[in-house]
Amino acid sequence: MQIDDEAIILKKKKYGESSLLITFFSYHHGINIGLVKGVLKKDFGIYEVGNNVYIKCNSRLEIQLLNCKFELIKNYSIIFFDNDIKLNTLLSICSLIDLCFPHKLPQLNLYRKTILLMEDLKLKDWLNKYILWELFLLSEMGYGLDLKKCTVSGSTKDLFYVSPRSGKAVSKLVGNKYHQKLFKLPNFFINTSKKVDKKIIKNGFEITGFFLNKYLKKNHNKDLPFYRKKILI
Protein backbone atom coordinates (compact mmCIF):
# COMPACT_ATOMS: atom_id res chain seq x y z
CA MET A 1 0.00 0.00 0.00
CA GLN A 2 1.23 3.49 -0.85
CA ILE A 3 -0.06 6.89 0.19
CA ASP A 4 1.17 10.12 -1.35
CA ASP A 5 -1.23 12.76 -0.09
CA GLU A 6 -1.92 15.68 2.22
CA ALA A 7 -3.38 15.06 5.66
CA ILE A 8 -4.39 16.38 9.07
CA ILE A 9 -2.75 14.85 12.14
CA LEU A 10 -5.45 13.51 14.47
CA LYS A 11 -3.45 11.77 17.17
CA LYS A 12 0.12 10.86 18.07
CA LYS A 13 1.71 8.35 20.41
CA LYS A 14 5.33 7.73 21.31
CA TYR A 15 6.65 4.39 20.05
CA GLY A 16 10.00 3.26 21.37
CA GLU A 17 12.77 5.76 22.04
CA SER A 18 12.55 7.95 18.96
CA SER A 19 9.55 6.89 16.89
CA LEU A 20 5.93 8.04 16.75
CA LEU A 21 2.66 6.36 15.84
CA ILE A 22 0.60 8.96 14.01
CA THR A 23 -3.12 8.74 13.29
CA PHE A 24 -3.81 10.96 10.29
CA PHE A 25 -6.78 11.92 8.13
CA SER A 26 -5.72 12.16 4.50
CA TYR A 27 -7.61 13.65 1.59
CA HIS A 28 -7.81 10.58 -0.67
CA HIS A 29 -7.30 7.74 1.82
CA GLY A 30 -9.23 8.73 4.94
CA ILE A 31 -7.96 7.83 8.40
CA ASN A 32 -4.82 5.70 8.72
CA ILE A 33 -2.09 5.01 11.25
CA GLY A 34 1.57 5.35 10.30
CA LEU A 35 4.94 4.90 11.95
CA VAL A 36 7.55 7.65 11.79
CA LYS A 37 11.00 6.42 12.75
CA GLY A 38 13.91 8.36 14.18
CA VAL A 39 12.12 11.61 15.01
CA LEU A 40 14.57 14.32 16.07
CA LYS A 41 13.64 16.69 18.91
CA LYS A 42 13.87 19.68 16.59
CA ASP A 43 11.21 18.11 14.35
CA PHE A 44 8.62 17.33 17.05
CA GLY A 45 6.61 20.41 16.05
CA ILE A 46 5.80 18.83 12.69
CA TYR A 47 3.79 16.10 14.38
CA GLU A 48 1.52 18.18 16.61
CA VAL A 49 -2.17 17.28 16.53
CA GLY A 50 -4.10 19.54 14.14
CA ASN A 51 -1.21 20.21 11.79
CA ASN A 52 -1.71 20.04 8.03
CA VAL A 53 1.02 17.88 6.50
CA TYR A 54 2.18 16.25 3.30
CA ILE A 55 2.73 12.51 3.74
CA LYS A 56 4.48 9.70 1.89
CA CYS A 57 3.74 6.25 3.31
CA ASN A 58 4.19 2.68 2.19
CA SER A 59 3.79 -0.89 3.39
CA ARG A 60 4.36 -4.18 1.59
CA LEU A 61 0.95 -5.54 2.57
CA GLU A 62 -2.42 -3.87 3.19
CA ILE A 63 -2.53 -5.20 6.77
CA GLN A 64 0.98 -4.00 7.68
CA LEU A 65 1.72 -0.78 9.55
CA LEU A 66 2.57 2.08 7.22
CA ASN A 67 6.06 3.57 7.30
CA CYS A 68 5.67 7.31 6.80
CA LYS A 69 7.51 10.55 6.18
CA PHE A 70 5.83 13.86 6.94
CA GLU A 71 6.44 17.39 5.67
CA LEU A 72 4.74 20.35 7.32
CA ILE A 73 2.28 22.37 5.25
CA LYS A 74 0.78 24.49 8.03
CA ASN A 75 1.30 24.44 11.79
CA TYR A 76 -2.15 25.18 13.20
CA SER A 77 -1.13 24.10 16.69
CA ILE A 78 1.31 27.04 16.84
CA ILE A 79 -1.20 29.50 15.36
CA PHE A 80 -3.69 28.82 18.17
CA PHE A 81 -1.19 27.94 20.90
CA ASP A 82 -1.93 31.04 23.02
CA ASN A 83 -5.73 30.89 22.62
CA ASP A 84 -7.18 28.14 24.81
CA ILE A 85 -10.68 28.03 23.34
CA LYS A 86 -9.42 27.91 19.74
CA LEU A 87 -6.76 25.33 20.57
CA ASN A 88 -9.37 23.19 22.32
CA THR A 89 -11.61 23.58 19.26
CA LEU A 90 -8.80 22.45 16.96
CA LEU A 91 -8.19 19.40 19.17
CA SER A 92 -11.94 18.73 19.33
CA ILE A 93 -12.10 18.69 15.52
CA CYS A 94 -9.37 16.05 15.40
CA SER A 95 -10.85 13.96 18.21
CA LEU A 96 -14.32 13.91 16.66
CA ILE A 97 -13.05 12.80 13.25
CA ASP A 98 -10.95 10.08 14.88
CA LEU A 99 -13.90 8.82 16.95
CA CYS A 100 -16.68 9.04 14.40
CA PHE A 101 -15.30 7.52 11.20
CA PRO A 102 -13.85 4.14 10.22
CA HIS A 103 -10.28 3.89 8.99
CA LYS A 104 -9.28 3.77 5.32
CA LEU A 105 -12.56 5.25 4.09
CA PRO A 106 -12.11 8.41 1.97
CA GLN A 107 -14.10 11.42 3.17
CA LEU A 108 -13.23 14.06 0.57
CA ASN A 109 -15.98 16.56 1.43
CA LEU A 110 -15.26 16.31 5.14
CA TYR A 111 -11.55 16.84 4.53
CA ARG A 112 -12.15 19.96 2.43
CA LYS A 113 -14.60 21.43 4.95
CA THR A 114 -12.24 20.68 7.83
CA ILE A 115 -9.32 22.51 6.21
CA LEU A 116 -11.62 25.48 5.52
CA LEU A 117 -12.79 25.42 9.14
CA MET A 118 -9.23 25.40 10.46
CA GLU A 119 -8.61 28.56 8.45
CA ASP A 120 -11.93 30.02 9.64
CA LEU A 121 -10.82 29.67 13.27
CA LYS A 122 -8.86 32.87 12.63
CA LEU A 123 -12.06 34.82 11.90
CA LYS A 124 -14.34 36.77 14.22
CA ASP A 125 -17.35 34.48 13.62
CA TRP A 126 -15.33 31.26 13.92
CA LEU A 127 -17.54 29.69 16.60
CA ASN A 128 -20.74 29.52 14.57
CA LYS A 129 -18.68 28.14 11.66
CA TYR A 130 -17.43 25.40 13.98
CA ILE A 131 -21.00 24.57 15.05
CA LEU A 132 -22.07 24.35 11.39
CA TRP A 133 -19.12 22.00 10.82
CA GLU A 134 -20.43 19.76 13.62
CA LEU A 135 -23.85 19.86 11.94
CA PHE A 136 -22.18 18.75 8.69
CA LEU A 137 -20.26 16.06 10.60
CA LEU A 138 -23.54 14.59 11.84
CA SER A 139 -24.83 14.53 8.27
CA GLU A 140 -21.69 12.77 7.00
CA MET A 141 -22.18 10.10 9.69
CA GLY A 142 -25.71 9.49 8.42
CA TYR A 143 -27.13 11.13 11.52
CA GLY A 144 -28.00 14.54 10.12
CA LEU A 145 -30.78 16.74 11.44
CA ASP A 146 -33.86 17.18 9.25
CA LEU A 147 -34.63 20.89 9.39
CA LYS A 148 -36.51 21.40 6.12
CA LYS A 149 -40.06 20.96 7.39
CA CYS A 150 -42.10 20.37 10.54
CA THR A 151 -42.07 16.68 11.39
CA VAL A 152 -45.71 16.85 12.57
CA SER A 153 -47.51 19.16 10.14
CA GLY A 154 -45.17 19.04 7.14
CA SER A 155 -45.12 22.85 7.03
CA THR A 156 -41.93 24.56 5.89
CA LYS A 157 -42.86 27.85 7.58
CA ASP A 158 -42.21 29.18 11.07
CA LEU A 159 -39.84 26.36 12.03
CA PHE A 160 -38.88 27.12 15.61
CA TYR A 161 -37.86 23.95 17.47
CA VAL A 162 -35.78 20.78 17.10
CA SER A 163 -36.91 17.50 18.61
CA PRO A 164 -34.13 15.89 20.70
CA ARG A 165 -35.74 12.53 20.05
CA SER A 166 -35.91 12.60 16.24
CA GLY A 167 -33.53 15.40 15.25
CA LYS A 168 -36.32 16.92 13.16
CA ALA A 169 -37.72 20.45 13.01
CA VAL A 170 -41.00 21.39 14.67
CA SER A 171 -43.04 24.50 13.87
CA LYS A 172 -43.75 27.09 16.54
CA LEU A 173 -47.49 26.42 16.48
CA VAL A 174 -47.06 22.67 16.98
CA GLY A 175 -44.18 22.86 19.43
CA ASN A 176 -45.31 25.60 21.80
CA LYS A 177 -47.20 23.22 24.08
CA TYR A 178 -44.10 20.97 24.35
CA HIS A 179 -41.48 23.73 24.36
CA GLN A 180 -39.83 22.53 27.59
CA LYS A 181 -38.95 19.23 25.90
CA LEU A 182 -37.62 20.76 22.67
CA PHE A 183 -34.54 22.67 21.57
CA LYS A 184 -35.01 26.10 20.04
CA LEU A 185 -33.88 26.01 16.42
CA PRO A 186 -30.99 28.48 15.89
CA ASN A 187 -31.64 30.73 12.88
CA PHE A 188 -28.16 30.16 11.43
CA PHE A 189 -28.83 26.40 11.13
CA ILE A 190 -31.19 27.25 8.26
CA ASN A 191 -29.73 30.52 6.97
CA THR A 192 -25.96 30.50 7.48
CA SER A 193 -25.69 34.20 6.61
CA LYS A 194 -27.84 35.23 9.58
CA LYS A 195 -26.13 37.29 12.27
CA VAL A 196 -26.07 35.50 15.60
CA ASP A 197 -25.51 36.51 19.19
CA LYS A 198 -23.82 34.58 21.98
CA LYS A 199 -27.08 33.11 23.28
CA ILE A 200 -27.98 31.66 19.87
CA ILE A 201 -24.45 30.30 19.41
CA LYS A 202 -24.60 28.63 22.82
CA ASN A 203 -27.95 27.09 21.88
CA GLY A 204 -26.51 25.72 18.63
CA PHE A 205 -23.47 24.38 20.46
CA GLU A 206 -25.71 22.51 22.92
CA ILE A 207 -27.76 20.99 20.09
CA THR A 208 -24.83 19.62 18.08
CA GLY A 209 -23.17 18.44 21.28
CA PHE A 210 -26.33 16.60 22.32
CA PHE A 211 -26.66 14.75 19.02
CA LEU A 212 -22.95 13.97 18.74
CA ASN A 213 -23.01 12.53 22.25
CA LYS A 214 -26.14 10.54 21.40
CA TYR A 215 -24.44 9.11 18.30
CA LEU A 216 -21.21 8.23 20.13
CA LYS A 217 -23.08 6.55 23.00
CA LYS A 218 -25.23 4.49 20.65
CA ASN A 219 -22.59 3.48 18.10
CA HIS A 220 -19.30 3.48 20.02
CA ASN A 221 -20.31 3.46 23.70
CA LYS A 222 -18.22 6.61 24.18
CA ASP A 223 -18.76 10.15 25.46
CA LEU A 224 -17.98 13.42 23.74
CA PRO A 225 -14.21 13.90 23.44
CA PHE A 226 -12.37 15.58 26.31
CA TYR A 227 -11.46 18.65 24.23
CA ARG A 228 -15.05 19.10 23.00
CA LYS A 229 -16.12 19.33 26.64
CA LYS A 230 -13.39 21.91 27.31
CA ILE A 231 -14.79 24.40 24.80
CA LEU A 232 -16.46 26.88 27.13
CA ILE A 233 -18.84 29.43 25.62
Residues 135 and 199 in one domain: yes
pLDDT tens, 213-223?
A: 999 999 999 99
Same domain as 57, residue 122: no
Provide the CATH number for the domain around residue 4. Answer: 2.40.50.140
Question: Structural domain of residue 139, as residue ranges?
Answer: 82-147+185-233
pLDDT above 90: residue 27: yes
221 in a structural domain: yes
When computed from its CA atoms, the radius of gyration of the chain, rounded to whole angstroms, is 20
Residue 7, pLDDT score:
98
List all residues 6 or more positions away from 188 whose beta carbon is below 8 Å from its beta carbon: 128, 131, 132, 194, 196, 200, 204
**Would you state the pLDDT for residue 214?**
96
Whether residue 178 lies inside any domain: the answer is no
Nearest-angstrom CA–CA distance, 126 and 187: 16
Is there a domain that residue 64 lies in?
yes
Cβ-contact 100, 223 below 8 angstroms = no
Nearest to 80 by CA among 28, 136, 130, 31: 130
Residue 80 has pLDDT above 90, yes or no: yes
pTM here is 0.94
Mean pLDDT of the 122-145 span: 95
Q: How confident is the model at residue 42 (pLDDT cuts 50, 70, 90)?
A: confident
Residue 55 included in any domain: yes
223: number of CA atoms within 13 Å, CB side? 5
The verdict on 28 and 95 lying in the same domain is: no
Which of the listed residues 32, 49, 79 is the one where a domain comes to its end?
A: 79
Total domains in the chain come to 2
